Amino acid sequence: MANEPRAQGQQGGLAVEYMTVKDAAQRWNVTERLVQRLCAEGRVDGAVKFGRS
């Protein structure tokens, strides 16, 4: 977990860590398309769309 690339941001004074679709797919051992679909269906808590992903 310590060596995984992540983007960090601020939200309401709290540090927020983001995981890309590619990172999630590798971690969950599924395709990137499945991760996109799960996010679109609201099945991933806290999923936020940035750009095209």
pLDDT of 1-53, one tens digit each? 445 455 555 556 667 788 999 999 999 999 999 999 999 999 999 998 888 76
Q: What is the pLDDT of residue 36?
A: 93
Q: What is the pLDDT of residue 1?
A: 45
Nearest C-alpha neighbor of 47 from the set 15, 5, 12, 19? 19
Q: What is the pLDDT of residue 52?
A: 76
Can you tell me the distance from the alpha carbon of 24 to that of 28, in angstroms, rounded to the nearest whole number?
A: 6
The beta strand positions in 1-53, using DSSP E, are 7-11, 14-18
Task: List phi, psi (to 5°) of 17.
Answer: -105, 140
Q: What is the pLDDT of residue 49?
A: 86
Q: What is the pLDDT of residue 15?
A: 73
Can you tell me the distance from the alpha carbon of 11 to that of 41, in angstroms, rounded to the nearest whole number?
A: 23
Burial of 48 (0-12, 13-18, 19+ CB in 10 A): exposed
